[in-house]
Amino acid sequence: MKFSIRNVIPERVKTGCLVLGVFRGSAKSGLPDFPEATRRVDQAAAGRLRKLATAGDLSGRKSSTLVLHGVTGVSATRVLLVGLGARAEFTENAYRESLRAAAAATKDLGATDAVVCIPDGELAESTSRKLAWRVRHAVFMLGDAFYRFEGLKSRNAAHPWKLQELTIGLSSRPDSATQKAFDAAVATLGGVSLARTLGNLPANVCTPTYLADEARKLARQFKIGIEVLERRDMEKLGMGALLAVTRGTAEPPKLIVLKYQGGSKDARPVVLIGKGITFDTGGISLKPSAEMDEMKFDMSGAASVLGAVRALAAMKATVNVIGLIPACENMPSGTAIKPGDIVKSMSGQTVEILNTDAEGRLILCDALTYCERFNPDIVVDVATLTGACVIALGHVASGLFSNHQPLANEIMGAADEAWDRVWQLPLWEDYQDGLRSNFADMANVGGRPAGSITAACYLARFTRKLRWAHLDIAGTAWKSGREKGSTGRPVPLLVQLALARADRR
């Protein structure tokens, strides 16, 4: 999809499809409530929309749509009216859903381009989202609707929609903040798409080697520095925890290091670490077979780091970012680690692996130690770490943990702006008790209670020298069921976080 943004006169813009919003009228008057662009079009069309509303055919009900052809007085071939619901309830979610509805409705049309005017109208008074926010989320939602995972069905259907170009139509020329938000959103969308595709690819395609090759491609395309550490490098570094996880598989492990230098040479980098388990069987602590296929998404953290780095490089963000991805498979076999095995992490701390299915923290702890050499300003790791996080927060918020409250606050701010939301959970020392081991410095699992927190507490033992935050994206990285597929989260959040730092300079 090609995106653009410009100043348009709604009734005069030449397009295959003009997309306008309609608020639900008040119950008392029953009259429709039109945003400015819609009001102008109604006026140019001699009150045609108003008549439709009076006749009861244009309710403005949330996500309802109506297509009109040949509206006299209007240059667009079609007018697509999208119900926005009540004006007072037109908050962030309603706004975003209205764009999803608009995108869905255009899919059945013959139009090859559309001009969408919904972002030009205000949200409910109770929210205070600027035009830049509305534009950003219009790009995200429209882009999301037109994402396709292609290439693995043998009968590739012809493109299921005709639309190729989407323009965000504004009543005045976009100011620099709006233009910047638009450009950043388009670049972010590219990163989201990359993350989704990597997540959706099956584990027999998307191996650690494949991830490393994708990272190399990125590096070449955007002139980013790259280094890929192999098993022998990990051995030299003493990454006993990472090496323990990869023992059970024939697939070679990789530690991918991407170095994007958009900021000044001496600026300390933002380090993003992504869990890259390309398939998690659980190992000898084997998972039940139901829905085990979804463990191909266990590299979603890695995918989001690749996506974020791609987005930031594409928009030439003035910030230094290091993407660090420990990647391997977690398989049971004759060479696999066993419950009770004790290994030495790169930090020197020993770990009793009581459950081989708690592998994410094992590969992350060595990556966290490794990243100290980059003298990071902040470190954020992103991981599909615990099923417990899905139980705690469902599929709405990612779990946030941090040893540095200003960083947690910064992340919560970026998450709100990106509408890629997080919820902070405690990292209190009290929870460390669960990781006690009789035989090593720590165990890799606590009990069932507060599973996400004890996982974060484990990581905290490797980040004492860092300003660090951990995002548990187990509930947010993909959807199950009929809509099964990667969401690309938290790419928008990571990009926003890094961008806010670029602006701060």
Residues that bind ligand BES (CB under 6 A): 280, 298, 355, 357-360, 384-388, 390, 445, 451, 474
Q: Is position 361 annotated as part of the catalytic site?
A: yes
Nearer to Mn ion, 312 or 354 (CB): 354
Nearer to Mn ion, 101 or 328 (CB): 328
DSSP secondary structure of 76-105 = SSEEEEEEEE-GGG--HHHHHHHHHHHHHH
Q: Which does 445 bind (CB under 5 to 8 A by kind): Mn ion, Zn ion, ligand BES, none?
A: ligand BES
| Token pair in block for residue 288 | 């039940």
Query: At its nearest, how many Å lie between Mn ion and the CB of residue 330?
Result: 6
Query: At its nearest, how many Å lie between Zn ion and the CB of residue 277?
Result: 5
Q: Which does 460 bind (CB under 5 to 8 A by kind): Zn ion, ligand BES, Mn ion, none?
A: none
Q: Which does 390 bind (CB under 5 to 8 A by kind): Mn ion, Zn ion, ligand BES, none?
A: ligand BES
The helix-helix angle for 208-222 and 176-200 (nearest 10°) equals 150
CA distance 331 to 69: 58
Nearer to ligand BES, 352 or 357 (CB): 357
The helix-helix angle for 300-314 and 208-222 (nearest 10°) equals 10
| Token pair in block for residue 353 | 């692996």
Q: CB–CB of 109/67 below 8 Å?
A: yes
- If binding is defined by CB under 5 A, does position 475 make contact with Zn ion? no
- If binding is defined by CB under 5 A, does position 301 make contact with Zn ion? no
CA distance 500 to 79: 38
Phi, psi values for residue 20, rounded to 5°: -125, 150
| Token pair in block for residue 273 | 């670490």
- If binding is defined by CB under 5 A, does position 360 make contact with Zn ion? yes
Catalytic residue (one of 296, 361, 489, 501):
361
What are the b/e assignments for 138-157, b being 16+ CB within 10 Å?
bbbbbbbbbbeeeeeeeeee
Residue numbers 250-309 binding Mn ion by CB under 5 A: 280
The H or E element containing residue 328 is: strand 320-330
Q: CB–CB of 326/364 below 8 Å?
A: yes
- If binding is defined by CB under 5 A, does position 298 make contact with Zn ion? yes
Q: Is position 87 annotated as part of the catalytic site?
A: no
Query: At its nearest, how many Å lie between ligand BES and the CB of residue 261?
Result: 32
Residue numbers 245-284 binding Zn ion by CB under 5 A: 277, 280
| Nearest alpha-carbon partner for 499 in 175, 122, 180 | 180
Q: In the stretch 357-386, what mask flags binding to Mn ion with x, by CB under 5 A?
A: x-x---------------------------
Q: CB–CB of 421/415 below 8 Å?
A: yes
Q: Which does 191 bind (CB under 5 to 8 A by kind): ligand BES, Zn ion, Mn ion, none?
A: none
Query: Any idea what DSSP says for residue 377?
Result: S
CA distance 415 to 498: 12
Query: At its nearest, how many Å lie between Zn ion and the CB of residue 117?
Result: 44
**Of all residues in this chain, which one has the CB nearest to ligand BES in the complex?**
387
Nearer to Mn ion, 11 or 280 (CB): 280
Q: List the catalytic residues.
A: 287, 361
Chain positions contacting Zn ion, by CB under 5 A: 277, 280, 298, 360
